[in-house]
Amino acid sequence: MSLTIPGSDLHLAWKKFIETGETTKNINPEITDAWERCTAAGVDPYAGRSEFVLEEVKLREVLEDHQELIDLARPFMNNLYKFVAGSGFIVLLCDEHGYIMETIGDRDVKGDTDELNFQTGALWTEEEIGNNGVGTSLVMRRPFQVTGFEHFCRKHHKWTCSGSPIFNENREMIGILEMSGPVEKTHLHTLGMVVAATEAIEHQMHIHRQNRELTMLNNRMYSIINSVSDGVIILDSFGEIIHANPALERILDRRLNLSGKAIENLVENTLVIRDMLVSGKGFKDVELTIRNGTNLSCLASGEVLRDEQGRITGASVFIDTIKNVHSLVNRFSGAQATFQFEDIIGESEELMEAIRIGTRAAVSDSNVLLQGDSGTGKEIFAQAIHNRSSRANHPFVAINCGAIPRELLDSELFGYVEGAFTGAKKGGRPGKFEMASGGTLFLDEIADLPLVKQVALLRVLQERKIMRVGGNRVIPVDVRIICATNKNLLELVKKGHFRHDLYYRLNVISITLPPLKNRKEDILLLLNHFLESYSKRMSISTPVVEPQVLHYLQNYSWPGNVRELQNVVERMLNISAGNKLTMDHLPPELMPQPAYTEPEEQSIEVPTLEEERKRLKEMQAQQETEEIIALLTACGGNVSEVARRMGISRNTLYRKMRQYNIMR
């Protein structure tokens, strides 16, 4: 079917549609659909010139918003035009709304082009000038070509318009590239050329975006490097310094001019750095000596830099003084106290009394002993006390004394030096006391601390100093101790399972947390809190609770306390299908059990006074034996040092060692 010859089937089909609104079957349905859209929009088929042109202010905004696209597209528009130069073609770049932003075309066809209005800011949508390469591509969101009588408007019948949308990386249309020219000079591959140019523009946009991101990333990297408190050195693959950040100048207290110089100009022992550049293996926490008039000991870590092929292009070395490193570790490793007293839910008299004592304890620096059954919220109280205290901006470090093997407790609490034992980390490791220095150390399950370790803990609490395992350097520590236990420590003291002197050292301020069974009035408050919290987390509406379920919840003994209630609420929400919690969702253990009969009380044999004295002497001897053994181990067998620490003479110590059969 001819697209350009008057009287052809297509021409007759166009005339028929304009005169009667009827479509012809053998016409491309996408063309007839476009004609129908034009008719519905009230387009005049005998017009076709864009009469809507953006005002200057609005046009300037459009051009500024699309300046990057215009700049990127212009070279490709020029290349596209070179193929058709001198043949009456115009290359257009429009925005995503159809407004012309850029044109490149032959000067000898201006008369024809003026008839259609190719000026910047003219609107080329279907609603304005009928179907065309720009407007129809906007509608179809894909490349489209309209030739000759396929145009709805008669003024376009001698033109072929080939348009292709331009998409960004998010598949959002940001513009249209179109080439219009005389019908008789249109090539079979005209649309393909426009599509190829569009793809090239999109590819160039992708490259441009990547380059921009790389530039931003590079700027951010240097911004970060220049803002961190650690000194940072960037090296090339030959070990020459590319960049040294301001923090390094602050550490060395002098201006640096190291660019292009070998690392040996700054660092004395560079073997680990040179080895990294050759092997590609980074290093961490290695002590290096910085040349700074007087040698300065620093802790350094390094990582290699690689290109996309994995080749080593250089390295980054982070440097800080030993003092600053310890301060940073203390600051970040313990910053985990998140709970405040306001987060504790309940209104019962016993709980409010515990909160009252806790808030008073917070303003003090004395040791605190938290006692209560499992699940009553002892760590929440510990964090709340810390956050209300003057140490709130310092570390809160927690350790469960019952969860760590006996042989690892010393290294966990006091740290160790390199080579202290098999498997010791290179460079050693600070213990919890060092990490909590300046803040709070929370010793959970303190009752499970072995007697031998109780001796060492008591010594630290008395002297406020620690010595790492395998080390000989005394390290001062400043910590506030909060302990917690679910056992009766005083009973353990009487039985000889807990040192009485350590007990009185820890039990300065005692806070007893009430079990949930004594807080019946708080159960409903806690229930509502957990329901709202878990419903929000599960993205469901908060369910209604049947009155019978509330009755059982409020009359259950809750041996697991608040933690058990929290678990029950989460379990019920997970198994409930609707927005109501019924008896079917209640765990079996909360249902009433058969009556329990207490066994008859057995008679207790009361020891005689002489037996009790003998037991206390044996307990004291056992504690003294463990203390001497622990100090001999800590002091490397130095009897004089042990005697000094115990406050007794060497002869007395030798006598006790013979008495308790202790070998050096």
- The CATH label, of 3.40.190.10, 1.20.120.330, 3.90.1150.10, 1.10.8.60, for the domain at 516-588 is 1.10.8.60
Residue of higher predicted confidence among 596 and 226: 226
The confidence band for 139, taking pLDDT boundaries of 50, 70 and 90, is very high
Which of 320, 305, 299, 281 lies closest to 221 in space, CA to CA?
A: 305
Contact in structure between 413 and 433 (CB atoms under 8 Å) = yes
Does the pLDDT value for residue 57 go beyond 90? yes
Q: Domain 228-321 has what CATH class?
A: alpha beta
Q: Using 50, 70 and 90 to split pLDDT, how confident is the model at 563? A: very high
Ranking 14-18, 82-86, 510-514, 567-571 by mean pLDDT, the lowest is 82-86
Domain span(s) for CATH 3.30.450.40 in the chain: 9-209
d(CA 37, CA 25): 17
Top-level class of domain 9-209: alpha beta
CATH topology of domain 334-511: Rossmann fold (3.40.50)
The secondary structure of 179-234 as a DSSP string is: EEEEGGG--TTHHHHHHHHHHHHHHHHHHHHHHHHHHHHHHHHHHHHHHSSSEEEE
Partners of 234 in the β-ladder: 243, 316
Better pLDDT: 186 or 56: 56
8 Å CB contact between 635 and 469: no
The residue-averaged pLDDT of 184-208 equals: 89
DSSP track, 46-91: T------B--HHHHHHHHHHTHHHHHHHHHHHHHHHHTTTTTT-EE
User: Do 319 and 248 touch, CB atoms closer than 8 A?
Assistant: yes
- Alpha-carbon gap, residue 398 to 475, rounded angstroms: 20
Long-range contacts of 354-360 (CB under 8 A, 24+ apart): 354/381, 354/511, 354/512, 354/513, 354/514, 357/509, 357/511, 358/384, 358/385, 358/388, 358/511, 359/388, 360/509
Listed in sequence order, the residues at least 6 apart from 535 whose beta carbon sits closer than 8 Å to its beta carbon are 541, 542, 543, 573
Enter the pTM of the model: 0.48
**Contacts of 471-479 spanning 24+ positions with Cβ under 8 A:** 471/416, 471/417, 471/420, 471/428, 475/434, 477/433, 477/434, 477/436, 477/437, 478/437, 478/438, 479/433, 479/436, 479/437, 479/438, 479/439, 479/440, 479/441
Rounded Cα gap, residues 149 and 344, in angstroms: 79
Q: Which of 248, 240, 322, 228 is nearest to 277 (CA)?
A: 240
Q: What is the pLDDT of residue 110?
A: 44
Of the candidates 107, 120, 87, which has an alpha carbon nearest to the alpha carbon of residue 190?
87
Tell me, what's the pLDDT at 197? 94
Between helices 67-82 and 56-65, what is the axis angle to 10°? 80
The angle that helices 133-140 and 29-40 make with each other, rounded to 10 degrees, is: 100
pLDDT band, very low/low/confident/very high, at 429 (cuts 50, 70, 90): confident
Q: What is the pLDDT of residue 603?
A: 44
Residue 254's Cβ-side half-sphere holds a number of Cα atoms within 13 Å equal to 10
CATH architecture assigned to 609-659: Orthogonal Bundle (1.10)
CATH 1.10.8.60 domain residues, the chain: 516-588
Mean pLDDT, all residues of the chain: 86
User: Reading across the β-sheet that carries 283-290, which strands appear in turn?
Assistant: 241-244, 231-236, 312-321, 296-306, 283-290
Token reading at 649 = 């003479």
Residues of the chain with CATH 3.30.450.20: 228-321
Q: State how far the Cα of 632 lies from the Cα of 98, in Å rounded to an integer.
A: 89
Percent of residues, the chain, with pLDDT higher than 90: 50
Comparing CA positions, the residue from 234, 260, 232, 259 lying closest to residue 246 is 232
> Per-residue pLDDT averaged across 246-271, rounded?
83
Out of 230-234, 279-283, 298-302, 629-633, pick the least confident: 629-633
CATH 1.10.10 segments of the chain: 609-659
Answer whether 588's CB lies under 8 Å from 402's CB: no
